[in-house]
Amino acid sequence: ETPVLLADGTKLPIEELYEKYESFGEKEIDENEELVRLDDPLKILSMNDEKIVEKEATCIYKGKTDSTVVVETQSGREAELTPVHKLFVLTSTEEVIEKPAGELQEEDTLLAPKDEVLKEKINSEGNSTNKVELEDHFLPDPVDSIEVKEESKDVFDLTVPETHNFVGGNSPMILHNTVIQHQLAKWSDADIVVYVGCGERGNEMTEVLRDFPELEDPWSGEPLMKRTVLIANTSNMPVAAREASVFSGITIAEYYRDMGYNVALMADSTSRWAEALREISGRLEEMPGEEGFPAYLASELASFYERAGICELYGDREGSVSVIGAVSPSGGDFSEPVTQNTLRIAQVFWALDTELKNRRHFPAIDWLTSYSLYLDQVGKWWDENVNENWQDLRRETMRLLEKESELEEIVQLVGPDALPPSDQFALQAARLVREDFLQQNAFHDVDTFCSPEKQFRMLQIIMEFYETGQRALEEGVSVDSLSEMDVLEDISRMSNIPSDEWEEKSSQVEMKMNEEFKDLEESLELSSPLEGETGEELDVEEESKMDDEDITAEDG
């Protein structure tokens, strides 16, 4: 019901906005979620750094939630949001931070756009079109009340590239729509984290500086900042500094590795670093290579990535450096030189997919495009420390996801009802893997991290459901009966089971699943004709036939 402020000054509830524009673009439907890619982007107002600007919303989203948070401010502003939806909060030191609605407190102060600013016609630069100077676009608005509603209902959102927020509410507020991306640094099993911000926007590094001291290291209980080294070279800094930042980071990582620590280095982004190399090479009048990058781009990338690995140190110690480089090619083009040269060197590739991001599937890693060349080494560890059947289970799961990808092409042409029952059920099982195993909620206290043992058991139960269901289909059970099983809801909630309750509750889910399959088989046997009665009828018919033959023989 939250109104969205459009660029022309009109307000429209976000639900009505969805109903109005859902036919004006390509719609993707995935069980409880719908995403409309607008043919003509919707012009809305958004916050960009310190100004309200005119931006375009490219997609409209509809989904489901189990609870909502109603936030009301002292000035009368009100909005109903999901617990993970973020708002801009003004701290006591006048810093602007992003805070999920579920974590808001009544003493918090929200950042709200001034009414007189919104009455002016704003252009894409954040300036008034009638030449009025707008030096201050915002005002502090303290939270007056917070109400949590525990009920299932439809939720709606907009996809706004770059700024990831829009102005909405009965009296306008700024509503954010991004997800925190520091999970890897928080949960990695590393003693030291080196974060290199190379050529990124200044506010992204500010977010890291603000969030890391507040994040708690789950292994030690100390602030995450205590084990973190930050190297900031933003896009407005000198090119030479950007070029040096990545090598500065790997040198610091090696320094701690030589002390016997395990170090995780994150470089964001190596594409901006390569662009700095291109600019320096151009000024030195060197012979350009593909797309203007220097001819030695591949060797420069290799000299960075190949410094990762495990080292045996003096005193029977071991240290390691794990390098995670973020490559951000223009337009998502994986054929450009930086991506291709990185793929030749790196042994693991996680492909972030825009389609998954738009469908609100996080982490948005494409499971079919991504790969790891460390599978044999990692597989041995899983077999020895988690379960010896891990590699077989992984192979079966990948086969199922690949089959789903093939079937989706057929479904788009003829619809799901044209598929045989076994394929219809395969699509349902693959959806369980995607939504209940691969998808994670970074804001949920439990789902934010999953131990290897829990991962294995979750996947084992899902694949057991698939294999048992396929056998039930062969015996005559319908796909509809399998789709209506009560245990499906329990499977979907496995990721939210706390670690101390996991053993007991996962066993209960498995037991309930087996009992429901047994009930389906028994009901199928009761509904089919009794074998004894059928046999007697056949015997009577056979005896009658033999008597007729005897009579015919005697007559002859």
Which residues in the chain come in under a pLDDT of 50? 116-136, 171, 173-181, 530-546, 551-554, 556
Any residues with CB less than 8 A from the CB of 142 and at least 6 apart, and which? 73, 74, 107, 108, 109, 110
What phi and psi values does residue 507 have, to the nearest 5 degrees? -65, -35
**The whole model's pTM is what?**
0.66
Together in a domain, 215 and 160? no
Query: Are 488 and 503 contained in the same domain?
Result: yes
Q: How many domains does the chain have?
A: 3
d(CA 106, CA 57): 31
Residues 261 and 157 in one domain: no
Rounded (10°) CA dihedral 419, 420, 424, 429: -140
With respect to residue 85, please indicate whether it lies within any of the assigned structural domains.
yes
- In angstroms, the CA 201 to CA 162 distance is 11
Same domain assignment for residues 337 and 421: no
pLDDT at 134: 33
Does residue 209 sit in the same domain as residue 106? Answer: no
**What pLDDT, on the 0 to 100 scale, is given for residue 534?**
43
Q: Which of 159, 176, 193 is the last residue of a domain?
A: 176
Q: Are residues 67 and 190 in the same domain?
A: no
Q: Which helix (H) or strand (E) holds 380?
A: helix 375-385
Q: What is the DSSP letter of 352?
A: B
Look at residue 219 and tell me if it is in a domain.
yes
Residue 521 burial by Cβ neighbours in a 10 Å radius (0-12, 13-18, 19+): middle
* Residue 191, domain member (yes or no): yes
Of the three residues 297, 329, 346, the one that is the final residue of a domain is: 346
Spatial contact of 173 and 112, defined as CB atoms under 8 Å apart: yes
Tell whether 395 and 473 lie within a shared domain: yes
Same domain assignment for residues 156 and 193: no
Decide if 340 is inside a domain. Answer: yes
Q: Is residue 455 part of a domain?
A: yes
A 10 A CB-CB count for 395 gives 10
Dihedral in degrees, nearest 10, Cα atoms 506, 510, 512, 513? 140
For residue 131, what pLDDT is reported? 32
Its domain, for residue 85, covers 3-176
Please report the pLDDT score of residue 16 as a whole number.
Answer: 83
The CA–CA distances, whole Å, from 47 to 17, 87, 163 equal: 20, 11, 7
Q: Has residue 31 been placed in a domain?
A: yes
CATH code (residue 223): 3.40.50.300
In a domain, 117, yes or no: yes
Output the domain CATH number for residue 154.
Answer: 2.170.16.10
pLDDT of residue 126: 40
Residues 197, 342 within the same domain: yes
pLDDT of residue 135: 38
Residues 6+ apart with CB under 8 A from 184: 264, 266, 324
Q: How far apart are CA 183 and CA 219, in angstroms?
A: 14
Q: 205 and 96 share a domain?
A: no
Owner of token pair 């131990």: 451
The predicted structure's pLDDT at residue 48 = 67
Domain match, 159 and 27 both: yes
- Among 154, 176, 198, give the residue marking a domain's end: 176
**90 with 198, same domain?**
no
